[in-house]
Every structure is written in structure tokens, then in C-alpha cells.
């Protein structure tokens, strides 16, 4: 995380010392680097320059309005999975005509909302969804643009909770069923098949599974052409991971190298079989754009020695950062101001009343009560997955822009959490 480094003995986000952020905004607080965000987006946008391509940020990774606004101003589209996420795109000034709508459970109301804003495409994941969307579009007197999310049964070799392209996963249409499903879509009067979509999983460090999935999509596009179903875009999804700092962890493939190999295959395919054919390429990156742009800043409340384990109890918890509890994810933990004393092995845990409430296990730390810690690489699936368990307000969020710090989400207080509740008379 080159945008987070030590200067004069203090961990900084770009030019801002993190102890200054804690003093001004308290803890726990998510701290994001604007320059890191833009660098990561440009890692996709620049190799796509001059091509018919669109980078649709998968906003489930982090949906703060300020982040969406920054990306929209760079020309990003958005991959959404709910009507609420579409409303966030609109509130941030994003273009709905650059929105693709994924997800297995789209409601009638969500379909109406998306159609009313003329989104780019619906990524449809089942035949019942096709029929529902056709009926909704017919009632509205419009035609819905659709692509099918095809499940290629490619193993991404990642955590089972974030693998999405296998036969056992709930997502997508099975590859063997895709042709018949496209025939159904083409026959429905209020749908227009315009593309094909695939997303096989998250946190891929190697692009080989993505290129294998691409080959299967190309094969299917050729088959559909012979059926008279001509698609206009190919959506390869997201999935490129980030390095979380675990010992022995491989570095992820460079985004530019992956995109170069992807376009090399697409160009060769077009030259061989489809000379002159235009087809837009869409990407759905999330984690690789925002993951290493943020840290979770937290303060040590107590050091609690035990017979089998020592615990470093901090004010952040599983409700603030779910990844370690949910995925057993390894996340690096660094002191904001390192100490020179002896280090001890701690489990870094929060105050939530669950044994599963931990942020890191078996970490060597030289730390004292009141010290600040930073949980690194916390920009993706951090705040966006947070909750109010134990009636804990969700953390504040700030963005560092050079030497300036901007509060982009206020910390919740208890009154915010129960203001929608009522007592029985």
C-alpha cells in the first residue's frame, strides 16, 4: 500500500498522519486515499483507452457516495446488485446509462426503477427472471436490454464464499443451459439480448481462470451467431484480487498485464472469425479498485493477558469489519506509532459479545493501552458490510486528498439506530 507509509515515525495516508485523523474524527474510522483510488481505476481505464470498453465499478465493495462521485467523474460505469445501489449511483451523479444490474433476486419494483432510468443492461441469472422482466417491461411499454450471466464452471481457486462460477453456486445460468436460455430471451417480445456476462469469483491472484472463462464466452458467442442472436457486448466481470500482506501470499497479477492478454485473445478471435465486428468489452472490478485504498483506524482499549492467549482489545469490532469473522480473512495490522519495546503475541479482538469477534489472530505487536492500530487493505467489503450489532453505530469515513482530510460519512450515534422504531401503545 504505497499510499500508506511511515513518515517521521508515524503511519500516514498520503501526506496526513493517521494519529491526526484519530484526534479529529475519533475511532473506529475508515480512512481512504483519493490518489490510491484514482490510480487503481486508471490501471483499468488506461489499457482500455482507444477501445470500445467500459469499466463498471462493482459498488458492493464500497458504496460511499464520495467514492462513487470520484469514479463517475473519471467516466466509470457501475455494477449494481440492488435498487438501493442504483439510487446511490444517481445521488452521486453517476450515469444510469452506464449501469449494469446484476443479482439473482431482482424484485418487480427494482426492475421498474432500473427501466425508468434506462440503464445499460440487466445481467439476468435465471429463466424465471427473464419472464418477470419481460412482463414488467411490457407493462411499461419498453424493451429491456439483457445479457445472461453464464456460469462457465471455472474454478477460481478462491474462498468458497466468494467463488461464484461453479455449478454448485447460486449465480448465473449453467453453461450447458445458456443456448436454450438465450433462445427463450430472444423469443420474448419485450426483451433484447445485447450481451453476455460472466463473473467467476473474487480475490483471484492469477488471471488464468478469467482467461479460461473468456474462451468459453467466445465459444458461446459464436454459437449464438449461428442461431441469429448477435450480441453487442462481452462482460468478463471482475475478480482480480489484492495483496493483504499475509506471509507467503502471492502478488496478484498486474491489471495491465491481464487486460493486455484478454484483448490479445479477443483481437485474435475477431480477426479469425469476425473481422470488422464491433463488440464492447465490460469489466466489473471492485476489490482491485478500492481494496488497498483504505484502512480501519482503531484504538487499543485494554491488553488482557490469558493462560492460553493474550488479547489486544480494540474499539473496532466484527460489526465494523466482518471479513475476518466471515471469511477467516487475514488482514495486516500495523501500529500507527511503532514502539521500540518487546513485542508480544496477541489476538486483536473487539468488544462485541461474540467469540467470533476478532480482527486478527496471533500477531506480534509492541503495543500499550491507548495506542492506535491500523487494519490495512480495508477499503473493500469493510464499511459496506458493517452492521449495528450490539447497538453499535457504524464507523465514520474520511477521504484523504493530499494533505487535506474530508469527512464523507458521519459516525452513527445510538439515537440514529433506533429512530425508526416505535413503542407499543
As annotated, the active-site residues are 353
Element at 303 (helix H, strand E): strand 294-304
Residues 151, 166: contact at Cβ < 8 Å? Answer: yes
Is 327 a known ligand-binding residue?
Answer: yes
Is 356 a known ligand-binding residue?
Answer: no
Q: Angle at CA 362, nearest 5°, toward 348 and 388?
A: 25
Is 287 a known ligand-binding residue?
Answer: yes
CA-CA distance, 383 to 385, in Å (whole number)?
Answer: 5
Is 129 a known ligand-binding residue?
Answer: no
Three cell numbers written together for 378: 480495508
Q: Kindly state the greatest CA–CA separation across the chain.
A: 74
CA-CA distance, 282 to 419, in Å (whole number)?
Answer: 41
Residue-wise over 63-99: b if at least 16 C-beta within 10 A, else e?
bbbbbbebbbeeebbbbbbbbebbebbeebebbbebb
Location of C-alpha cell 461464484? 164
Is 239 a known ligand-binding residue?
Answer: yes
Q: Angle at CA 356, nearest 5°, toward 354 and 358?
A: 105
Separation of first and last alpha carbons in the chain: 54
Is 51 a known ligand-binding residue?
Answer: no
Please state the residue numbers annotated as binding site for substrate. 287, 323, 327, 354, 381
Please state the residue numbers annotated as binding site. 239, 284-287, 323, 327, 354, 381
Amino acid at each position: 500500500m504505497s499510499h500508506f507509509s511511515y513518515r517521521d515515525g508515524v503511519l500516514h495516508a498520503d501526506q496526513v498522519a493517521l494519529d491526526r485523523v484519530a484526534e479529529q474524527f475519533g475511532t473506529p474510522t475508515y480512512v481512504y486515499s483519493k490518489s490510491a483510488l484514482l490510480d487503481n481505476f486508471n490501471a483499468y481505464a488506461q489499457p482500455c483507452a482507444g477501445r470500445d470498453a467500459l469499466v463498471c465499478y462493482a459498488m458492493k465493495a464500497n458504496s460511499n457516495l464520495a467514492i462513487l462521485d470520484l469514479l463517475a467523474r473519471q467516466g466509470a460505469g457501475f455494477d449494481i446488485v440492488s435498487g438501493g445501489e442504483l439510487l446511490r449511483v444517481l445521488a452521486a451523479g453517476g450515469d444510469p446509462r452506464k449501469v449494469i444490474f446484476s443479482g439473482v433476486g431482482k424484485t418487480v419494483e427494482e426492475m421498474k426503477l432500473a427501466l425508468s432510468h434506462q440503464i445499460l443492461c440487466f445481467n439476468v441469472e435465471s429463466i424465471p427472471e427473464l419472464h418477470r422482466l419481460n412482463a414488467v417491461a411490457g407493462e411499461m411499454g419498453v424493451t429491456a436490454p439483457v445479457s445472461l450471466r453464464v456460469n462457465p464452471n471455472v474454478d477460481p481457486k478462491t474462498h468458497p464464499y466468494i467463488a461464484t462460477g461453479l455449478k454448485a453456486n447460486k449465480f448465473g445460468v449453467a453453461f450447458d443451459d445458456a443456448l436454450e436460455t438465450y433462445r427463450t430471451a430472444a423469443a420474448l417480445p419485450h426483451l433484447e439480448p445485447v450481451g453476455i456476462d460472466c463473473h467467476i469469483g473474487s480475490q483471484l491472484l492469477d488471471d488464468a481462470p478469467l482467461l479460461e472463462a473468456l474462451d468459453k464466452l467466445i465459444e458461446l458467442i459464436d454459437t449464438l451467431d449461428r442461431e441469429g442472436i448477435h450480441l453487442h457486448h462481452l462482460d468478463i466481470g471482475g475478480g482480480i484480487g489484492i495483496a493483504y500482506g499475509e506471509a507467503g501470499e502471492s502478488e496478484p497479477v498486474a491489471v495491465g498485464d491481464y487486460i493486455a492478454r484478454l484483448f490479445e485473445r479477443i483481437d485474435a478471435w475477431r480477426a479469425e472469425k469476425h473481422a470488422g465486428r464491433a463488440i464492447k468489452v465490460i469489466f466489473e472490478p471492485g476489490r482491485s479498485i478500492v481494496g488497498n485504498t483504505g484502512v480501519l483506524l482503531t484504538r487499543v482499549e485494554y491488553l488482557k493477558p490469558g493462560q492460553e492467549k493474550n488479547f489486544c482489545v480494540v474499539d473496532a469490532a466484527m460489526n465494523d469489519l466482518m471479513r475476518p469473522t466471515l471469511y477467516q480473512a487475514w488482514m495486516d495490522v500495523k501500529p500507527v506509532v511503532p514502539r521500540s519495546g518487546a513485542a508480544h503475541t496477541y489476538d486483536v479482538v473487539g468488544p462485541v459479545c461474540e467469540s467470533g469477534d476478532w480482527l486478527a489472530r496471533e500477531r506480534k505487536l509492541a503495543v500499550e493501552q491507548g495506542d492506535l492500530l491500523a487494519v490495512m487493505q480495508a477499503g473493500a467489503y469493510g464499511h459496506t458490510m458493517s452492521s449495528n450489532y450490539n447497538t453499535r453505530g457504524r464507523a465514520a469515513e474520511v477521504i484523504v486528498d493530499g494533505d487535506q482530510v474530508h469527512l464523507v460519512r458521519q459516525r452513527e450515534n445510538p439515537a440514529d439506530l433506533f429512530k425508526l422504531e416505535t413503542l407499543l401503545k
